[in-house]
Structure 1
Amino acid sequence: MRAAGILVLTSALAPMLAPVLTWAQSPLPLSMKRAVEIALAPDGSTRVALARESIQQAEQKVLQAKAAFLPNLDASVQDRRQTTNLLAFGFRFDLPVPGFSLPTIVGPFSVLDARATAQYSVLNLGDIHRYKAAKASLAAVKLDNETTRNQVSDDTAHAYLACLRADAVRDTARANVELAQALVDLARRAQTAGTGTGIEVTRAEVQLANNRQLLIRAGNDRTRTMLQLLKVMGLRLDAPVEFTDKLAYQSFDPAPAEALLSQARKARPELKTQARREEAARLSHVAIKSERLPTIGAFADYGAIGSDVSASRATYVYGASLKVPVFDGGRREARREESYSQYKQEQIRTRDVGQQVELQVRMALEALRSAGAEVDAAREGQTLAENELAQARRRYEAGVATSLEVTDAQTRLQRARDNQVAALYNYNAARLDLATATGTLGDYINQ
């Protein structure tokens, strides 16, 4: 009876659950913009999550440095039972009366001590500069997080373009198989009509077999590139996706090199990050130099002490201190030289990052110009190859040419199609690289 009820309930719910299950298994429509958004989401790319944790660590280091400006408060309670050897403190009692002496061991007696202590750094220039250095490091980490997000966006966009290229290669391979099959049918009809030979049919079948192998390889490459994209995005590797974009050509006229370089110097987060790192290294060096200066502090101690609670009396100590560093074995000077070397390293890195940004802009611009010309040449080459194959087929059907001429034209058309796909990919990749180099990647993705 119970089993029959479950069966009836399942049958009733099946029509309602079917649309849900179908939706859950349907591929995710994926554009380049959507892929980047998923990669930058909190549960997306691992590098983005690690960058957020780096910000959290830097914020805590700022709080640690800031703690040097706040008083340190401690409280303690002691309740002890003890004896004391007066001889240990230099007390010796010799009485002139024979047979009488004072004890050297005093006690046991009880001591109850409840006390609060406070210490405060009134003036310490080293702590001030360390706090400034920590804040500069925090700013650098936040900017570095922006750099990481740009790198993840760039990697995701490149992986997406690779998937579009794999789709185009697979479509081209499928078209080549269809063309090869049509040429096999043509050779068989010619053989049946007596105008063709068996070797021509075999030659066409070999070409068909080769194209089928290339189609299988293209499908495997597409799966591999899709897995790489899913990994970059932080999705499950078995998540079904469907690309909404196609590998295409969009005319783009880039600005002059100097204008692009000016844009890059203003927008690239790597330059801002390195400037903050250099500033943090400089402040750290100044902080260590300031350790040679005197420091001023204040202290206070207040509490009650006695044999028990009823006998306790209030006592206190308060005052100020001046500490002047004299000699620490050369450790401070060694740390100062070390920090200065680190500061010089950051200056060198700043120059190198600037040169690297300029190199990336100029190389991306040159690659874009070359890729544009490559697209034009590939488009023309494919048109010519298609015309050549059409003429070769007409000549073969008319009986004035052999199938070898058709096979050669077929091979050149396949190469032209591959060149067209490669040229389109190189052009779109060059546009992406130029956007990354100039700091306008977000505008490129959102267009």
Structure 2
Amino acid sequence: MGQAVQLPASGRTMQTPGTVNSQQTTSGVSNSVLQPSITVTGNYQGSVPGTPIPAGPLRLSLPDAVKRGLQTNLGIVTSGVSSSIVRAQRAQALSQLFPQITASIGATETQINLAAYGLNTLGASLGVNFPSIVGPFQYVQAQGNLNWNALSVTNVRNYQVANTVDHASRLSERDTRELVVLAVGGTYLQILSASARIDAQRVQVKYAQATYDRANTQLSAGTNTRVDMTRSLVQLQSEQERLLALEGDYQQQKIAFARLIGLPQDAELIFTEQLGSTDLQPVEEADALHAALLHRWDLQSAEAQMHAAEQTVSAARSERLPSLSFNGYYGAMGPRPTDSHGVFVASGTLSVPVFDGGKISADVQQARATLRQRQAEYEDQKAKVEQDVRNALIQLRTALGQVKLAESNRQYARETLTQVNDRFDAGVTNTVEVVQAQQQEAAAENDYISGLYAMNLARLTLARAIGDAETELSSLFPGDKH
């Protein structure tokens, strides 16, 4: 008689440990700007070694980086191992539907003490003299054995459950690929943003150096005060300090990125993409939500997990049904292989549950509890998909607005800085106004970089929210090549 195989209460246990998501945080450059960031935790942070790379600098485009990540990221590897385990469990469930056939060959030599069984006493009472010892004697046998639970609805249901869980596992594996695309793509964009900030900061150091040199020259000429020269020196060293901090953070990000995609951590990477601003077609919220409900692999996996729980309830109920099994063997037995004779046993058993002390009812109750949990998780996942899409659309609209304003603000800040420098060269103003203009220009430049990064990350996040990050990757940044 078969027994229903119970599922874990939660269908989310097969998911790869760790998270990948984008979130909004307050930027340190300007408190009025919300700076998105990519968060990668758990297995998605690590990788296995990838294919060897040639010596020297490695030029790495975004598609190349994602391709490497899909091959080496630990999240992918772990997901594949989990799927392999689920497929093995499916094969085990399938094996219960087929006959189990074994073959055996044996030789036996034995000697029996009849006195130990009391037969000599029995023989004396009957007037028969039984020998105390019989043997030794020997025989050989060769036979095939069959055990087959031929009719068990529970075993059939268990296989259906395992098949559905395997389908859910494959869907979850596809969703893992989407998360790796988001992790690698988002981190790649974050590094581009860090590189752009370094370039912008080098310009600020250059500005500050030029201001200091002019202030020093004016001081030597007697047309300026030492306070102005000292103030410009403080500004120069502050800008140099920021540059060092940005360069250190950039190097750490490169190391983390190399680990993300299975590259040596000391590899010299050249990122070939550029942050760019492109005209985007508006995305209708209703269309995005509809596409997400159709394409999100994690939602489909949650739905499959719910169906598996429904089938488990059916399997538990079927334990009340009769089952039919066959057992037997056929072979040859005799004192010698040349003096043997065919032997066989064949039996069929129809088992009907009569009383089990409430075990079947308990199995059904447990399966129903699991089903309720899986249904709740499916509804929650639908809500999460909707939330992901709405948040991604908000981030995209916000980023597009930020880019436009930041681009305009950057132009005005550059014009202001030029005018202030002219005034300083003419001796009309001091370094206070110059430093303020430089700080405003730096803030405007950083806000523009933040806007570009936010826009590109929002595009990638929206593709992930809809469930098309991997297939849409090539069209996400068509204009960013250089």
Aligned ranges 1:254-333 → 2 under 5 Å: 254-333=282-361
Matches within 5 A, 1:77-156: 77-85=106-114, 88=117, 92-95=122-125, 101-103=129-131, 105-156=133-184
Change (3 A) 1:116 1:86: farther
The 2-side partners of 1:296 and 1:287 are apart by 16
How many Å separate the matches in 1 of 2:290 and 2:144?
60
TM-aligned CA deviation for residue 26 of structure 1: 2.6
**1:397-436 equivalent positions in 2, closer than 5 A:** 397-436=425-464
CA distance in 2, matches of 1:135, 1:209: 66
Stretch of structure 1 that moved more, 361-370 or 85-94: 85-94
1:206-245 → structure 2 map (5 Å cutoff): 206-245=234-273
Partner residue, 2:228 = 200
> Which segment is superposed worse, 112-121 or 182-191?
112-121
TM-score by length of 1: 0.89
CA-CA distance at 1:426 after TM superposition: 1.5
* Larger CA deviation: 373-382 vs 144-153: 373-382
> By how many angstroms is 1:104 displaced?
5.4
Which of 25, 32, 40 is the equivalent residue of 2:55? 25
Give matches, 1:331-410, under 5 Å. 331-410=359-438
Secondary structure at 2:429 match in 1: coil
What is the CA deviation profile of residues 315-372 of structure 1, one whole-angstrom value per residue up to 9, with x for unaligned ones? 2221321011223333333222112211211111110110000001001111111111
* Paired letter, 1:412: Q
Question: Contact (CA 8 Å) 1:83, 1:109: kept in 2 or not?
Answer: no
Distance in 2 of aligned mates of 1:50 and 1:368 = 32
1:179 aligns with 2:244: no
Out of 107-116 and 156-165, give the one that drifted further: 107-116
Out of 456, 470, 473, the residue aligned to residue 445 of structure 1 is 473
The Cα shift of 1:105 comes to 4.8
After superposition, give the CA deviation of every residue in 1:233-268 in whole Å (9 maximum; x if it has no partner).
Answer: 121111111011112212213321111100111111
Name structure 1 gaps, 5 residues minimum. Answer: 1-22
- Match for residue 6 of structure 1? none
Greater helix content: 1
Please state how far the C-alpha of 1:286 moved relative to its aligned partner: 1.5
Single out whichever of 330-339 and 235-244 deviates more from structure 2. 330-339
Contact 1:29 1:243 in 2 (8 A): yes
Distance 1:249 1:96 in 2: 111
Question: Matched residues in 2 for 1:171 and 1:96: separation?
Answer: 113
Q: Which moved more, 1:373-382 or 1:201-210?
A: 373-382
Cα deviations by residue, 1:52-108 (Å, 9 ceiling, x for unpaired): 2223222222221111222111223241212053773889234576xx743455444
Give the CA deviation at 1:230. Answer: 1.0
Q: Comparing 226-235 with 74-83, which one deviates more in the overlay?
A: 74-83
The residue identity in structure 2 corresponding to 1:239 is A
For residues 137 and 201 of structure 1, what CA distance do their matches in structure 2 show? 72
For residues 117 and 202 of structure 2, what CA distance do their matches in structure 1 show? 100
Structure 2: unaligned runs, 5 residues or longer: 1-52, 476-482
Aligned length: 421
Corresponding residue for residue 65 of structure 2: 35
Contact 2:111/2:133 (<8 A) preserved: no
- Judged with a 3 Å threshold, the aligned counterparts in structure 2 of structure 1 residues 302 and 25 are, in CA distance, closer, same or farther, namely closer
**Which amino acid letter does the alignment assign opposite residue 83 of structure 1?**
I
| Cα distance change of structure 1 residues 85 and 330 upon mapping to structure 2, 3 Å threshold | farther
* Residue pair 2:421, 2:434 contacting (<8 A) in 1 also: yes
1:24/1:87 CA distance change after superposition, 3 Å: closer
Q: Decide which of 97, 107, 110 is 1:69's aligned counterpart.
A: 97
C-alpha deviation, 1:310, in angstroms? 4.3
Identity of aligned residues (%): 29
Distance across 2 between alignment mates of 1:304 and 1:235: 64
State the 1:179 CA deviation: 0.6
Distance 2:59 2:459 in 1: 23
Q: Deviations over 1:259-303 (max 9, x none)?
A: 110011111111111111111222222122212211112222222
Where relative contact order (Cα < 8 A, 6+ residues apart) is larger, the structure is 2
User: Against the structure 1 CA distance between its residues 342 and 108, is the aligned structure 2 distance closer, same or farther, given a 3 Å change threshold?
Assistant: same
Is the contact between residue 296 and residue 322 of structure 1 (CA under 8 Å) also seen in structure 2?
Answer: yes
Q: Residues 170 and 218 of structure 1 are in contact (CA less than 8 Å); yes or no, is this contact kept in structure 2?
A: yes
Q: SS state of the match for residue 110, structure 2?
A: strand
Distance 1:308 1:95, change over 3 A: farther
| Secondary structure class of the residue paired with 1:307 | strand
What SS is found at the alignment partner of 1:26?
coil
Deviation by residue 1:155-214 (Cα, 9 ceiling, x = unmatched): 000110110011011101101001111111221232233321111111111111111111
Q: Judge conservation of contact 1:187–1:196 (CA < 8 Å) in 2.
A: yes
Name the aligned partner's letter for residue 338 of structure 1: Q
CA RMSD of aligned residues (A): 2.0
Please identify runs of 4+ aligned residues in structure 1 that moved more than 6 A: none
The worse-fitting range, judged by mean Cα deviation, of 51-60 and 349-358 is 51-60
Deviations 1:13-61 (A, max 9, x none): xxxxxxxxxx9433111111111011112xx112212222223222222
Cα distance in 2 between the residues matched to 1:68 and 1:300: 17
Q: What is the distance in 1 between the residues matched to 2:113 and 2:331?
A: 23
